[in-house]
Structure 1
Amino acid sequence: MAFFTSEYECKLDAKGRLVLPAKIKANLPEASSNQLVAMKGFDSNLVLYTMPEFKKIQSKFIGLSEFDARQRKLKTNFFRRVVQVELDSAGRFLIPKAWLDHAKLEKQAMVIGTGNTIEIWNPEVYDQYMGTDDDFSDLAQEFLSE
């Protein structure tokens, strides 16, 4: 299983391509090292999944009922937010325009390893979202203390 950590400042080229940081790329599973799944995040960000990680989530959505309107709507909403991307020989991948717009990405990006996924943020949006170290401390106490 891939494990991603840390944060990296990256640049997008004029075509909307992003080079994955070497430390992130080195942790991609060999079997799917050039194929990733990009999803519009629930926040103003993008989330990258390795194929094995995405298949775990995909199986849950595939199991939803086609006959239940709410489940059908959830399934449609999920899959319309997802696109497969492929790394080229330089370790770059093209971010589709709608995904760039969703994450407010222009020239700069923050690439964040979040354990089993990779998040991509506009640096200013990321700073606002993350808040202060006090916020982090409060969240850790709320969710991790016994």
Structure 2
Amino acid sequence: MEKYQIVGIIIVFSGATNLQIDAKGRLAMPTRHRPQLQQQCCGRLVCTVDFQSRCLLLYPEDQWQVVAEKLMKLSDTQPIERAMKRMLLGHAQECNMDKNGRLLIPASLRTFAELDKAAVLIGQLNKFELWNEALWQQQLDDSMQALQSADLSDSQRLQDFSL
């Protein structure tokens, strides 16, 4: 089954991949995503923190521009909006794939996400999430519990996903 498809000009990323982070803080992007990242953004990604979870967000450069435009519209005087800007922009760093498909994840971002050796890369349509393996497993467990106890009929958008 294909792990990506082109929708307009956005390449859709999906799937979970277990990765190893080396002693220098590099990870190898999964081979199946490399051609698409080269096509979409010449291997240029922006890495930042997720302000709702203890993981990192990896955006292809063109998709980061969409986020940046939204952030520019937020207020610098409203505390929550300012906090979002500080978290996302203040931690954003360019991470370019090298010729071997590796990304160097800055130490400060690895510390935030508690990344050491074992990590999981999760495709999220227009971006990736990068998780510590143990934290990802806990997130999966928490998500499963939340979904099992939720009344999906409360949301019109979620009703479409009832199986």
> Once the 2 structures are TM-superposed, how far is the Cα of residue 64 of structure 1 from its aligned partner?
3.1
Of residues 62, 75, 79, the one that matches 2:85 is 75
RMSD: 2.3
| Amino acid of the structure 2 residue aligned with 1:33 | C
Residue aligning to 1:88: 98
Tell me the TM-score normalised to structure 1 length: 0.86
Against the structure 1 CA distance between its residues 30 and 141, is the aligned structure 2 distance closer, same or farther, given a 3 Å change threshold? Answer: farther
Residue aligning to 2:159: 145
Tell me the TM-score normalised to structure 2 length: 0.78
Q: State the SS of the aligned residue for 2:125.
A: coil
| Amino acid of the structure 2 residue aligned with 1:145 | Q
Residue aligning to 1:114: 124
CA distance in 2, matches of 1:29, 1:141: 41
CA distance in 1, matches of 2:101, 2:140: 27
Residue range with higher mean Cα deviation, 78-87 or 68-77: 68-77
CA distance in 2, matches of 1:113, 1:106: 20
Structure 1, unaligned runs of 5 or more: none
Q: Does 1:14 align with 2:44?
A: no
Structure 2, unaligned runs of 5 or more: 1-9
CA distance in 2, matches of 1:141, 1:24: 35
| Amino acid of the structure 2 residue aligned with 1:16 | G
Aligned residues: 145
Contact 1:4-1:27 at 8 Å conserved across structures: no
Q: State the SS of the aligned residue for 1:121.
A: strand
| Amino acid of the structure 1 residue aligned with 2:32 | K
| Amino acid of the structure 2 residue aligned with 1:60 | K
Contact 2:11-2:40 at 8 Å conserved across structures: no
Pick 1 or 2: higher relative contact order, CA cutoff 8 A, min separation 6. Answer: 1
Residue aligning to 2:3: none
Q: Does 1:97 align with 2:89?
A: no
Q: Does 1:33 align with 2:42?
A: yes
Q: Does 1:59 align with 2:69?
A: yes
